[in-house]
Amino acid sequence: MNIELAEVSFSYKKRRRNTKVTELPLVLDHVNVTVRSGEMLAVAGKSGSGKSTFMQLLKGFLKPSFGSVLIDGIDPYAAKRPELFDRVGFIFQYPEHQLFSVTVAEDVAFGLRHSGLTPEQKHEKVKQAMNAVGLDYATYAERSPFELSGGEKRRVAIAGVIVLEPEIIILDEPTAGLDYPSRTALFAMLHQLNEERGTTILWVSHQLEEMLEHASRMLILKDGSFIAEGTPDVLLSDRAVLDAMGWEQPAALALAQLVLDTHGIKLPRPWDVSEVAPVLLDLLQRKMKSDSEGISWPQQAI
């Protein structure tokens, strides 16, 4: 499933103060972008750049002021097919704040209440969704969601979305407020959904290292327009992009560049400093040994 925004602009409605009408500026300005089936897509940008509006347009929470949203080439508004947006799952920031049921299973099942499924079918879907996010049904089904850890609560909220079997899942800063083990476990689960179910994962984040490690593609939004797109390692090594956004290059990439410049060694996949360190140590030891033996060292990935 692909979603395309074609020449999309968006402005919030006019705001009335007394009798004066104020036209609000465009939040998104002539955006052309496609979310591709099966990708892990990260969206980056400063606060107020239009990220939330972009996500809500993809889900159908907002309608473009100009331009079209196309789902597999179909405009849901022109075709009067709003149900097409049901193929998109949306998970708000801190989704655990929206949990309310007595048990985990009831919370996950909430979205199925008007599905027309039998109780047995609902039970099976809830079980599958919980297991997919790493919550063993037998262990968690009858527990109160409010007794769980922050990471577990977030998994319950995500299960409540994937029980509807969306083809795309959109997440607003999914790791906000989580500790490192919970962040790692969350992305392991998202990668599993992406790889085993083919679910497209799109998320917004301010964490450059997170996007570098997990995204297959990255979009950069500034002042309502996408100024760059590509793989995170390329974009986050581009000085023009970094300067335009006021970003510092992630430490892993900076370290990899330093090693290349000073030792002629190109590190493979320098996505995370914890991954770079042992590879760097091994390569430097091998290079030192080669130098001592008079063996030339090729400037290429190993």
Dump pLDDT digits (tens) for 82-131. Answer: 999 999 999 988 888 888 899 999 999 999 988 889 999 999 999 999 99
Is residue 138 in a domain? yes
Query: Token pair of 132, please?
Result: 């997919």
Q: Is 275 exposed, middle or buried (0-12, 13-18, 19+ CB in 10 A)?
A: middle
> Residue 227's pLDDT is what?
95
Q: Which residues of 6-16 are buried (b: 16+ CB within 10 A; e: fewer)?
A: eebbbbeeeee
258 to 238, 261, 277: CA distances (angstroms): 15, 5, 13
Query: With 80 as the cut, is the pLDDT of residue 296 above it?
Result: no
Is the same domain home to 43 and 152?
yes
Range(s) of the domain holding residue 271: 253-292
Rounded CA-CA distance 25/11 in Å is 6
36 to 28, 266, 269: CA distances (angstroms): 20, 30, 23
Is the same domain home to 95 and 228?
yes
Q: Is 114 exposed, middle or buried (0-12, 13-18, 19+ CB in 10 A)?
A: exposed
Regarding predicted confidence, which is higher, 282 or 39? 39
Count of structural domains within the chain: 2
Is residue 68 in a domain? no
Instruction: Specify the CATH number for the domain of residue 225.
Output: 3.40.50.300
Task: Kindly report, residue by residue over 56-93, the tens digit of the pLDDT.
Answer: 999 999 999 999 999 999 999 999 999 999 999 999 88
pTM for the model:
0.83
Is the same domain home to 118 and 216?
yes
> Residue 98's pLDDT is what?
81
